[in-house]
Amino acid sequence: MFFLKFFTASFLFLIILTACSNEPESNPVLTVYKGTIKGFVYDATTNAPIYYAKISTLPPTEETYTGADGEFILSDIMAGDYIVDAHKDGFDNDTTFVTIQHKDTVNTSFTLQDFSIYFDYYPLEIGNYWEYWYHNLPSHSVEIVSDTLIGNLNYYVAIYNNLPSGTYIETRYERVDEYNALVYKYFPLEEKEMIIDSLPVKAGQIFASNIFMDPYMPCYSICFNIETEEIFGELRKVRNLKQVCGTDMPDYQIVKSLRFYSAAFWRTGGYTLKYAIINGIEYGDR
């Protein structure tokens, strides 16, 4: 009997010992792979460092800002692929693609273009004047006669007249936002403004635009290309665009230093700038 009890106890002990030895081992500490992104942000025109430009990534990590010397550092970034973006109000943004590996530092730099180089696409100054012709006949004129405050924003007042009769067509209120280089038109009846142009837009990009339509219909424009043409005896940058909204929307051109230059409608034809006075200088023939 004693032998049976001893055997049973020993057998149970072995079972418990075996069970304990088969328990899963605790997971080892996983290695976290991290690296650093370091770089500078410069002004594209002057090459001066840009202070307090925001640096962000996609996928998102912690955002940071440049110092007075234009330098930034993003530390402890998980290893992987990232799109890094540099942005500051009043400047065009810049992006780059980086790959982070363990304990590595990726060095990069950005150049941001000051929006002021785009502003003369829309020379909105009191006294500026444009005449447009439809084929070989005068169509309409536009003259900036004053400026006014609407909701603490400064707008230029442009009067549109029918050239053959000299009769009034429309009053428009337009402004260029210096922080994002967007051109806005204000609609008094609806007390609402809409975007009519995005000056920094690149070839192939699309942007919201109601340049030809009222605010009740959401529209957009496509920038086909930006090229150089001789207009009024000078080589000028020309932005070729198309309004997309409803039917018979035009291809149109915005020319640096001249503003709106031409529009071509599929069904009804179009009109072209024939004469202008910009900041006291005359262009074309009357």
What's residue 286's pLDDT? 81
Q: Which pLDDT value is given to residue 15? A: 45
Instruction: Tell whether the model's pLDDT for residue 234 goes beyond 50.
Output: yes
Mean pLDDT, residues 54-62: 96
**CATH 2.60.40.1120 in the chain, residues?**
34-113
CATH number for the domain running over 117-284: 2.40.360
Please tell me the predicted confidence (pLDDT) of residue 26: 53
DSSP the chain: -HHHHHHHHHHHHHHHHHHHHTSPPPPPPPPPPEEEEEEEEEETTT--B-TT-EEEEES----EE--TTSEEEEEEEESEEEEEEEE-TTB--EEEEEEE-TT-EEEEEEEE-BGGGGGGGS---TT-EEEEEETTEEEEEEEEEEEEEETTEEEEEEEEEETTT--EEEEEEEEE-TTT-EEEEEETTTTEEEEEEETTPPTT-EEE--SSS-TTS--EEEEEEEEEEEETTEEEEEEEEEEESSSSPPEEEEETTTEEEEEEETTTEEEEEEEEEETTEEEE--
What pLDDT sits at residue 285? 87
- State the CATH architecture for 34-113: Sandwich (2.60)
Q: Which regions of the chain carry the CATH code 2.40.360?
A: 117-284
Mean pLDDT of 175-195: 94
Q: Picking from 58-72, 186-200, 229-243, 260-274, which range would have the lowest pLDDT averaged per residue?
A: 260-274
| pLDDT, averaged across the chain | 89
For 87-129, the pLDDT digits (tens) are: 999 999 899 999 999 889 999 999 999 999 999 999 999 999 9
Residue 45 or 29, more confident: 45
- pLDDT bracket for residue 277 (50, 70, 90): very high
